[in-house]
Amino acid sequence: MKRLEQIFTGNVDTATLKVKQLNGETYLVGPVVMAKEIVMNKVLYRAKELKASVPHWNGRPVVVGHPKTEDGEFKTANDPDVLEAQGIGMIFNTSFATKTKKLKSECWLNVNSLKKFENVEKVVANGEMLEVSTSLYLEAEEAVGTFNNRDYEFIGYNYKPDHLAILDGEIGACSVEDGAGFPRANEELTDNELSSYEKMHILGQAVRKKFSTSDSGAYLADVYDA
């Protein structure tokens, strides 16, 4: 088997975060769907492996951007220097939803740490959407196949979580449409059902991509049912 570092990406909706206290510090807390049974980067992530990884996610750090070496290679976030420079919180209360085959957790963002990252703090203050990305190590067995119309070349085993990253200005690949995202308060949503906020976010991205220019920015004002 090969040992790989893999990145899952999703979204953070900061509009419904709750304020909580931990060890005298103030945190903004909300639910996050970190991953689901899916093919990502040619690797099949199976439900039973995601379920087995649940206890290893709790306490993993939340950082702004994936930490990298001077050569641009990804590295662990579990390092004092990385946490000092990029640390912004932790994830807790991880679980696996058998019905929807989704890996869920809570994202705890330290209010004082947010002050170091002006762009992220602004998005949180405005209740807007943030992109997130989970980093993990795994063992990959070569196996060619197709799952949900996505081809894969490996099956992943023995997931070892490292961190959750807030992506400042980047777009995630496993997004709201894939069933990931933060927060996902309604557990009864199916993979094809989206909240009004999520529909507005997806349509807004499409509008900005098609109509925004270097001289002006386009945005979506509202969405109405037909």
What local confidence, expressed as pLDDT, does residue 163 receive?
93
Contact yes or no for 138/157 (Cβ under 8 A):
yes
What local confidence, expressed as pLDDT, does residue 123 receive?
78
* Mean pLDDT of all residues in 27-36: 85
21-25, 100-104, 192-196, 214-218: which has the minimum mean pLDDT? 192-196
Provide the token pair at 125.
């203050």
Q: How confident is the model at residue 127 (pLDDT cuts 50, 70, 90)?
A: confident
pLDDT at 142 over 70: yes
Q: What's the sign of the alpha-carbon dihedral 171, 173, 176, 182?
A: negative
What local confidence, expressed as pLDDT, does residue 210 receive?
61
Range ranked top by mean pLDDT from 4-8, 14-18, 27-31, 113-117: 113-117
Higher pLDDT, 214 or 38: 38
Name beta bridge partners: 2: 140
What local confidence, expressed as pLDDT, does residue 223 receive?
55
Q: How confident is the model at residue 36 (pLDDT cuts 50, 70, 90)?
A: confident
Q: 54-93: per-residue pLDDT in tens?
A: 999 999 999 999 999 999 888 999 999 999 999 999 999 9
Q: 151-192: per-residue pLDDT in tens?
A: 999 999 999 999 988 887 655 444 444 544 444 443 333 344
pLDDT at 213 over 80: no
Q: What's the sign of the alpha-carbon dihedral 129, 117, 161, 31?
A: negative
- Can you list the pairs that 215-221 forms with residues at least 24 positions away whose Cβ atoms lie under 8 Å? none
What local confidence, expressed as pLDDT, does residue 60 receive?
97
What local confidence, expressed as pLDDT, does residue 216 receive?
54
Backbone conformation region of residue 66, classed left if phi is above 0, alpha if psi is from -120 to 50, else beta: beta
Mean pLDDT of the chain: 77
